[in-house]
């Protein structure tokens, strides 16, 4: 039994080592990989030596154990965003099973109201930023806005972005085909490839779609030119007509409906 336990321990250690190599290889961090492997191999070596009857390794084992704990904590701090993304993906799989069924007609009705509002805002050159959540969005974005939980309607969207409204500078968040919040703050894009002529509203509309945690589509209306744009996965598409805007929104949302029926 003791031999079997040692073999199982070595197999688990080997699996853990392979996971460490894969983790750091994907993040192109060879220096950190060497440090973690050195500490982990040192920890394993102190135990393997003891198995061969060499005593007096207690202090060395404790030191190596502390170093392993320190490395694990450091990894959690350094790769916090990666870990959050991992948990978000797991949660997203769980949420897919809990999403309520939305009919094609409900989607079309909601999108027609959004497109109608965008058309009016574009004509009056009123700046606007609307985020449609497909599956998941960071909680802090929801919490940064004013809770509404209202049905989607063109008049409501137009009134929110009226320049006299206290919420007009933020973003409207639409989730499960309801207006969840207004006046929400979004993260700005960190990309250096974004056109320098674009303002904060466009940078926020791009930034919210770049995170792996968020699965969203943003709609941006320029207050200077009235140009309607959409962003999905960091890709900006500008100069959209109302008809093209509807198609750009409907196609991915229709895919969501079809996935939900499977």
- The pLDDT score that the predictor gives to residue 42 is 74
- The pLDDT score that the predictor gives to residue 211 is 82
The helix/strand/coil state of 132 is: strand
- The pLDDT score that the predictor gives to residue 123 is 96
Closest Cα to residue 203, out of 214, 212, 193?
193
Cross-strand partners of 218? 131, 231
Provide the 10 A C-beta neighbour count for residue 13: 16
φ, ψ of residue 17 in degrees (nearest 5): -65, -40
Provide the 10 A C-beta neighbour count for residue 128: 24
pLDDT in tens, the chain (262 residues): 566 666 666 677 677 667 766 766 666 667 766 777 777 777 677 666 666 666 666 666 677 667 767 777 777 776 666 666 666 556 555 554 445 567 889 999 999 999 999 999 999 999 999 999 988 888 889 999 999 999 999 999 999 999 999 999 999 999 989 999 999 999 999 888 899 889 999 999 999 999 877 889 999 999 999 999 999 999 999 999 999 999 999 999 888 777 654 4
The whole-model pTM stands at: 0.65
- The pLDDT score that the predictor gives to residue 262 is 46
- Parts of the chain belonging to CATH 3.40.1700.10: 105-261
d(CA 93, CA 145): 26
- The pLDDT score that the predictor gives to residue 58 is 66
Closest Cα to residue 161, out of 139, 176, 179?
179
β-bridge pairing 216-221 and 178-184: unpaired
Closest Cα to residue 151, out of 134, 175, 116, 123?
175
d(CA 138, CA 246): 25
Q: Which residues touch 217 (CB under 8 Å, ≥6 apart)?
A: 131, 132, 134, 209, 230, 231, 232, 248, 249, 252
Which CATH number is correct for 105-261, 2.10.240.10, 3.60.20.10, 1.20.1250.20, 3.40.1700.10?
A: 3.40.1700.10
Per-residue pLDDT of 140-194, as tens digits, reads 899 999 999 999 999 999 999 999 999 999 999 999 899 999 999 999 998 888 9
């Amino acid at each position: 039994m003791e031999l079997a336990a040692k073999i199982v321990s070595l197999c688990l250690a080997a699996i853990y080592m392979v996971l460490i190599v894969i983790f750091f290889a994907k993040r192109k961090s060879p220096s950190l990989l060497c440090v973690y492997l050195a500490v982990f191999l040192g920890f394993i070596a102190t135990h393997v030596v003891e198995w061969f009857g060499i005593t007096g390794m207690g202090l060395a084992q404790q030191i190596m154990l502390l170093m392993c704990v320190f490395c694990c904590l450091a990894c959690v701090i350094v790769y916090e965003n990666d870990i959050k993304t991992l948990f978000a993906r797991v949660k997203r799989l769980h949420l897919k099973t809990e999403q309520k069924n939305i009919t094609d007609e409900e989607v079309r009705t909601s999108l027609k109201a959004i497109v109608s509002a965008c058309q009016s805002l574009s004509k009056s050159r009123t700046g606007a930023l609307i985020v449609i959540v497909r599956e998941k969005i960071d909680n802090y974005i929801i919490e940064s806005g004013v809770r509404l939980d209202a049905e989607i309607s063109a008049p409501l969207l137009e009134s929110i972005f009226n320049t006299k409204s206290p919420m007009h500078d933020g973003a409207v968040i639409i989730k499960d085909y309801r207006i969840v919040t207004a006046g929400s703050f979004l993260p700005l894009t960190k990309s250096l490839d974004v056109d320098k002529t674009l303002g904060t509203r466009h940078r926020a509309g791009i930034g919210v779609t770049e995170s792996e945690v968020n699965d969203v589509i943003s709609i941006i209306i320029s207050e200077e030119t009235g140009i309607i744009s959409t962003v999905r996965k960091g890709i900006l598409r500008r100069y959209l007509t109302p008809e093209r805007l509807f198609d750009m929104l409907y196609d991915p949302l229709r895919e969501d409906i079809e996935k939900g029926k499977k």
